[in-house]
Amino acid sequence: MARAMIVMSSDQVKENQASTPVSPASNKPLILASGSRYRREMIERLQVPVLAIAPGIDESRTAGESPRALSIRLARQKAAHVARQYPDHWVLGSDQVAMLGDEALGKPGNIERARQQLGACSGSTVEFQTAMCLLGPTKRLEHLDTTRVRFRALSPTSIEDYLSRESALDCAGSFKSEGFGITLTEAIESEDPSALIGLPLIALAGWLRSIGLMVS
């Protein structure tokens, strides 16, 4: 069955709540198409039943692809891949891309790469594009949050101190805002502070109310 696509901003979430019919999929756990423990823990804050399934897709950026396009494409692909296994559930895919100028900042994976990333971010603004795609039996909802983080000037000592205190090797750009990473910043601009951690929970909560997975 073809799925209708609805692209929503934060301002449109509330309006959508009154118009989205509750489907039989609302009686089943939300499927999170992700192996990220951070995203699973974030959904658990909303106190809804959730089952996390790693999608196992290729997340490489294509030539000339913008951060916005990349994050939306990967969120869609993650949700679609897992939805094939759970066609009668609501499936949530999400992806976050950090950009410093034209350079994509992925997860560092090791200390040396983390040092390099944070050194490059020193005194600069990094843009985090966080996309969500909620796929149901007959509908697709999408949301994109843009968060801008302005880093203070970071000395080698500041970087070493941060990396000794915080486990951030699995975070985009080596930046873990919910922990000691907040001390690396001068300012953060965002409509939803939870988006920087990995999921825009304000928009997601609105979706879950509209489809009957949350009551209040």
Among residues 88, 95, 145, 192, which one is catalytic? 95
The question of whether 95 is a catalytic residue gets the answer yes
CATH of domain 4-210: 3.90.950.10
CB 25 within 8 A of CB 137: yes
Q: pTM of the entire structure?
A: 0.82
User: In this structure, what DSSP letter does residue 22 have?
Assistant: P
Rg (CA), the chain: 18
Tokens (6 digits) for 193? 């502070």
pLDDT tens figures, 107-120: 899 999 999 999 99
Beta bridge partners of 132: 94, 143
Q: Can you give the pLDDT at residue 23?
A: 53
Pair 127, 91: CB distance under 8 Å: no
Q: Extract the tokens encoding 132.
A: 């969500």
> Which class for 188: exposed (0-12), middle (13-18), buried (19 or more C-beta within 10 A)?
middle
> Is the Cβ–Cβ distance between 200 and 145 less than 8 Å?
yes
Q: Give the length of the chain.
A: 216
**How confident is the model over 161-195, as pLDDT tens digits?**
999 999 889 888 999 998 899 999 999 999 999 99
